[in-house]
Amino acid sequence: MTPAQPAIAPSDRVRLRRKRERGSHDREVIDAILDEGLIAHLGVTDDEGHPVVTPTLHARVGDVVYLHGSAASRTLASLRSGGPACLTVSLIDGLVLARSAMHHSVNYRSVMLFGRSAPVTDPEEKLKALEAVVEHIIPGRWAAVRAPTENELRATAVLSMPIDQASAKVRSGQPVDDEDDYAIDTWAGVLPLALQPLAPQPDPRMPAARPLPSYVSCYRRPR
């Protein structure tokens, strides 16, 4: 059994100031959101001082999050030099339909991670990081595909970002209306949403007799 991670000590940077009751610095909460989310948004400042937000794939391994991209990427170049970064992952669990327009909301789980990333230069760690990203997308896939070539590895930048300045926010449950609005005769409640796989679409150039692997037919995101 993996030992429980200690809660993150909230610094001024990750201290929750609004809707504090929805916030958490619990590592189990933070790790679970990072592990379930498929898309992260990476915020950095480019060479000209402009803020840039880039969607990217990620993977958590222990106490770090790995990110990857083109070695020619200007966004990753700013991070390789030790620039500050903000990484966010968000999950939508439902639409919250209230009786008043201003109390509509969504049920969500999100993580905001601050820090400075470091380039991964060790070849073995770099390969393990890329494996983690592929396995984060679809567990069991790495063993079934061709490994990266040396040229592909040189063309790919991999960065690690420690999980030491992070916070989570979670909204769940029914709408919270003003007391007088509960008398309004309109439907209110939650419309749950979930990421669900549809029927796989085989590559036309693949042999028709190729069986569907179980990691595709049984695919589900962790929860």
Q: Which has the higher per-residue pLDDT, 80 or 12?
A: 80
Q: Which has the higher per-residue pLDDT, 96 or 5?
A: 96
The answer to whether position 187 is within a domain reads no
Stretch among 20-24, 115-119, 182-186 having the lowest mean pLDDT? 20-24
The answer to whether position 192 is within a domain reads no
Stretch among 10-24, 58-72, 179-193 having the lowest mean pLDDT? 10-24
Q: Which has the higher per-residue pLDDT, 70 or 223?
A: 70
Interval 14-23 mean pLDDT: 63
Q: How many domains does the chain have?
A: 1
| pLDDT confidence of residue 7 | 62
The answer to whether position 1 is within a domain reads no
Q: Which has the higher per-residue pLDDT, 146 or 84?
A: 146
Is pLDDT above 60 for 14?
no
The secondary structure of 143-176, three-state, reads: HHCCCCCHHHHHCEEEEEEECCCEEEEEECCCCC
CA distance 145 to 129: 16
The answer to whether position 185 is within a domain reads no
The answer to whether position 8 is within a domain reads no
Q: Please provide residue 52's backbone torsions phi and psi, each rounded to the nearest 5 degrees.
A: -135, 135
Domain range for 125: 20-175+197-217
The answer to whether position 180 is within a domain reads no
Please report, rounded to a whole number, the percentage of residues in the chain having pLDDT higher than 70: 90
Is pLDDT above 90 for 96?
yes
Is pLDDT above 90 for 2?
no
Q: What's the whole-model pTM score?
A: 0.88
Interval 191-205 mean pLDDT: 95
* 8 A C-beta contact, residue 71 and residue 153: no
| pLDDT confidence of residue 1 | 41
The answer to whether position 154 is within a domain reads yes
Is pLDDT above 80 for 21?
no
CATH of the domain at 111: 2.30.110.10
CA atoms within 13 A on the CB side of 86: 13
The answer to whether position 184 is within a domain reads no
Interval 195-200 mean pLDDT: 94
